[in-house]
Amino acid sequence: MFWPPLLVAVGGGLFYGLTSPGGLDWHYPVLGAGLGAGYGLAQVFLARTGRLADSFLLPVAAMLTVLGLLFIARLDPTLAQRQFTWAIVGLAVMLLIAVGLPDYRRLAEQGYTHIYATLGLSLLAVTVIAGSEAGGAKAWLTLGSFRFQPAEGVKVLMVVFLASYLRRYGHTLAIPRTATALPPLHVVAPLIAFAGLSLLFLVAQRDLGTAIIFYSTFLAMLYLATARLAYVGGGLGIFALGAVFSFYLYPHVQGRVLAWLDPWAYINTYGYQVVQSLFALGAGGLLGTGLGLGRPDVIPAVTTDFIFAAVGEEMGLAGSLGLLALYLLLVARGYAIARKADDAFGVLLAAGLTSLLAIQTLVIVGGVTRLLPLTGITLPFMSYGGSSLVTNYAIVGLLLRVTPGEERQPGHPLTVIIAAVMALFLAVVAQLTYWQFFQAEALAANPHNPRFAAMAGETKRGGIYDRHGELLAETRGVGNGFARYYPLGEVTAPVLGYVSPRYGQAGLEEAANAELMGLGGRAGLDNRLRRLVGQKARGYNLQLTLDAGLQRLAMDLLQGRRGAVVVMRPQGQILALASRPTIDPNRIDTLWEQWQKDPESPLLNRAVQGLYPPGSSFKIVTGAAVIARRPDLLGKTYFCPGEVVIEGRRLGCWGVHGEVDFSRAMAVSCNVAFAEMALALGGENLTGAAEAFWFNRPLPFELPVKPGYFPDLTAAQANDVAESAIGQGRVLVTPLQMAAVTAAVAGGGRMFRPYLVERVLDAERTVRAVPPTPLGNPVTPEVAGRLAASLELVVSQGTGGRAGLPGVAVAGKTGSAENPHGPAHAWFTGFAPARGAEVVVTVLLENQGSGGEAAAPLAGKLLAAALEKAGVGE
């Protein structure tokens, strides 16, 4: 069984020897062969001397050690040489214990039991007093040039003490299961004292990772000896209290918990290591980058705390799961020894030592994958660290000495412990699969990923084209790398955003980064092959729904103003999305600081990120609610004296409209009439209508969109209902959402997801076509038709006349949204033709006053241009 680690050791040595910068270096394969042969000879020697309780245990430990050495050598050759030495020492310690210990049962003799506890606690106490600090934990002792972690050895002493003590008193602690029965104080006091002092010393050292391993192993062994889950439950309760205490007492513990809950929010502080670990796992994907081709070196403490992340990056999910399988085999063989041990002490000793290895593996891999908070401990046999490696081999030596007897039957507490450990391993497998398979592309495309900058210099980013094939963004060769160029400059900036190795990404460049960089699917595999043979990788091209001509017009019409324009089809295709002020992404390196300080906020995309009160343009939603839920209100008339007072609050109108019905109220935008209809409709109905049009939830779109807000009016006061019905008060909306609302009416009551990317293309073919995606039916076709007829009157007879077009019926709604910070915002949102709509246009102008005067003329020009392109009205 020793041939797998021998082959890996020799093969790894040859790999490093052949790839050495100075040419072929026989030093590596000779050392690898020597180490592999050493393990093989040790296995043969143990078998010949009858000290081989399990034939798999040492080969698995050897395989893990060799793999660890390969990755440490790849990351830091100097550390690898030291680790090689510690591996030899560890092997010697294992042989000394396995062969030199005459009878492991002598460890349980009464005279020794308290020596283990005293020695262990003394070592921990000395560390608290005279230890040195590293990584936030005071866990090291230094003797001359020799530095070691006493807690590593104390873990083994703890297991031996507990196995000895619980063998003697386990039956006493397994008291009858009654509410009043308690174990004798003289029996339970030493256990409480040992566990309490151990944890106290470890907490004082701020070595909370080791404390978790100590405590978890203690609970496992206590349950094994007593079969009482009450001890485990009580112990977990005490642990929860201690965790809360540590959270508030120690800043570095607080930081690790916060990094676990949301590492992205603390990406430059507490969460940096965790995020870098996830980036490494994502970069590995299914099959890995290949040994030596990843970038795990960007992870701090990668050779100690994050060696598993390095394996995940360079060997992929396949390698990660294979490594977990090795640990699972190691743990399974350890528990098999415990099941067959011929006495209670052997069962407790083998199960305790195995649980120690299992828990340590689960805690560190759980931290690396964000299943658990990061604790900063080593991965058994693999991480760099002499104390840890020698201790792990001491554990193997003790396990090999346990004498086999009759196997325990299912139902024994050991079976429960094994099942719990297996379940935790499955949870780790699920977490790994999530990051390395389902989230791999998202992690690779994250602009905070340091691999992104390196990849950007090696990959020709895909081009972006409008719906007619006009180039909007391309990557040009500059020296040995690439640079991004935008032919239309600021015209397409609100849509495309930018990509910069210094300032990251925004807009569609960020949203479609995976496609543009060729990170997924067939392109991902092709690009890996290109990199292996030294060729530049390339990404997919994108063809957008955008019309470059309409985009130019929209940006020209906004020149000198603050505002936004959205032009789209009723089925969701975005033809233009404009926002001013904006930036020229070609000048990002020279003007970034100026843009950051500019009070006009040119980096804000007002079309999707600007939230504004919609004013009377919201009457589209209120009108839909009235038609659908209170059609009886359509036949009534309302008298408008120019204002109305509701619960002491004045609600003004733009004029004295006299008697108006629903259609006339919509045409002249009568606030009084709509306030009365809203009060009759009721706040609950109005809230339901708004939410049917996707208020209070993010609208699905490639670019980040702020969700529109509509208050819950179920129990609101009458004046709040009236204000909300006319788009004032607390109502807020983005221009994109207002366009989507209008498009739903134009499209017969069906609402579609707005979208920009129409096709993903490679050099030969369409990789993926993006069809329209329905979001639902906020209103019926009948309601949409009745509402469209009233909106047509807005343009033909009311406030939206300046959006009208000769020969084409236009429907729409103006809005003049009161703004506490200055003049009203001007809105117009509409569509044409009014029946069988082809185009939807929404215009928002900040502080421009009347929507009919300021926004409607711009909308008319955009509708005319879009309809001409569509062949309507010619």
Centroid of chain to Cα 370: 10
Pairing verdict, β 537-538 and 459-460:
parallel
Tell me which residue of 860, 848, 725 sits closest to 806, measured CA to CA: 860
Centroid of chain to Cα 17: 39
CB 167 within 8 A of CB 107: no
Residue 195 confidence (pLDDT): 79
Residue 870 confidence (pLDDT): 83
CB 465 within 8 A of CB 308: no
Distance CA 433, CA 426 (A): 10
Residue 255 confidence (pLDDT): 83
Say what the alpha-carbon torsion angle 160, 162, 168, 174 is, to the nearest 10 degrees: -150
The reported pTM is 0.67
Task: Tell me the average confidence (pLDDT) per consecutive run of 10 residues in the chain, 874 residues long.
Answer: 59 58 61 78 85 86 90 87 92 92 80 78 80 66 75 90 89 66 77 79 72 90 90 87 80 82 85 90 88 84 92 94 95 93 91 96 95 89 93 95 71 88 96 90 76 67 94 84 89 95 86 82 61 67 97 98 98 98 95 93 96 97 97 94 90 91 96 96 96 96 96 93 95 98 97 97 78 96 97 97 96 91 93 96 97 97 94 64
Residues linked to residue 842 through DSSP beta bridges, in sequence order: 566, 829
How many alpha carbons fall within 13 Å on the CB side of residue 75?
29
Residue 135 confidence (pLDDT): 60
**Alpha-helical segments (H) within 483-609:** 493-496, 507-511, 513-516, 521-532, 548-557, 588-597, 606-609
Residue 269 confidence (pLDDT): 84
Distance CA 407, CA 56 (A): 18
DSSP class of residue 851 equals: I
Residue 674 tokens, joined: 């709509």
> Would you name the residues annotated as active-site residues?
616
Residue 5 confidence (pLDDT): 58
Distance CA 199, CA 294 (A): 39
Tell me which residue of 354, 401, 348 sits closest to 101, measured CA to CA: 401
Residue 634 confidence (pLDDT): 94
Distance CA 744, CA 667 (A): 20
Q: How far apart are the first and last CA of the chain?
A: 83
Please name the amino acid found at residue 59: P
Residue 312 confidence (pLDDT): 95
